[in-house]
Amino acid sequence: MVAKHDASAPYHVFYTTISDAKQTHNQPYSITFLEILDRSLGELKCSLQINFMVEIGWLLAQYYFAGYSEKKLTILYGEDMEDLRTINKKKPHVDAHHVSMATPFGKHHTKMMILCYEDGSLRVVVSTANLYVDDWENRTQGLWFSPRCPELPADAMPHDGESPTMFKKSLLKYLNHYHLPSLAYYMERVKRCDFSHINVFLVASIPGSHFDMEWGLTRVGSLLRQHCSIPTDQNKQWPLIAQASSIGSFGKEPKLWLTGDFLQHFTRIKNPPTVLSQPPQLKIIYPSLENVRQSHDDLLGGGCLPYAADAHAKQLWLNDYLYQWKATSTHRDRAMPHIKCYTRVSPDYNRAAYFLLTSGNVSKAAWGQKNKKDQALRLMSCEAGVLLLPQFVVSEPSNLQIIKIGLMTTIFYIFVLLKFTAETPPSVMVLL
């Protein structure tokens, strides 16, 4: 596994292997959960799993088969389960904590791992997959799997070992918001490790009202305003491609949020036009009902696509922005996407200005909504993702700050975008 991971540089982005698509089993960018725990990457000492849904029997089986059945495991989870509440009585080395949200619309939706090794080093994984069997079999999931972060010298200062993207500081700030004593050890390990070679930005959301630009869509907008270098005269021609497994409720018209706060922040650039101009196009990739019917799991494949039928009925205008799921080149047409990613591409679809892999769906709960009175950003969910920007990832010259899609397996869906029609409606859930 260490050779596969080394070969993934400088992106370090992987996709989960699809059980029923044998063509994915030997792809250099496909990965199983067991491979994440492979000993060639380091001898595991303990690990932190932060997630939404956790099937504890399946998760412990993965650690057992990896040879780590007695290693300390800390779990933060969002979906409350009885077996997680009592797991410490049966497995004393497992420490599980339920993270509740202030509102029913908010979810503890982050999917992150911190893997600590016996030699003092660690790795961070930022993922889109829940920790249960279905998410690791026939669904398209994405993961950023960090390089090894070695232990700093004993006399190093806590702020040493920072990356140009300030990843270490951002990670510590995110972990600190939980105020959990169980995280003290992992935060100390992060402080004591060298992150100087990490080339992505951590983009996270935490519940609350925020006036800084550290969270949600204001974090995205701030980073793009500093570093996204699409030529000013071409800005309108570079569409925003948003791909998600769920869609929120946006109101009676797109400008209320979707083409307002959301589009404005996700399309910011370093040198914006000085005069008012039309915003770039927004294209949302979301599976159609036909996509689901043809999936490996038939209609059950839509179980990871919780977009309610009554919500869609109130915003039928959204059909103008929707495009079907298609990932033929990576043999994932039939693997329904639980992955979420955002990118801006050139008019010829050969270049990308950035790539954001995240747990956050296209929703106000995930990215936040600006308060009209005081401009505070109101967030309801916990989310985490990584933003790849060319000058940090591939060191392109300043006038060519692009990522060439042909060299970047992270942009996995093909850009023959298929519009929705009356015969191919979006996959929606009818809630009884």
Which positions are catalytic?
Answer: 109, 338
CA distance 140 to 87: 29
Residue 235: HSE in the Cβ half-sphere, 13 Å Cα cutoff:
22
CA distance 335 to 30: 13
Across 341-367, b (16+ Cβ under 10 Å) vs e yields bbbbbbeeeebbbbbbbbbbbbbbbbb
For residue 350, which amino acid is it?
A: N
Flag whether 111 is marked binding: yes
Flag whether 340 is marked binding: yes
Q: Are β-strands 139-140 and 369-370 bridged in parallel, bridged antiparallel, or unpaired?
A: unpaired
Summarize the annotated binding site as residue ranges.
Answer: 111, 340
Task: Provide the annotated binding site for substrate.
Answer: 111, 340
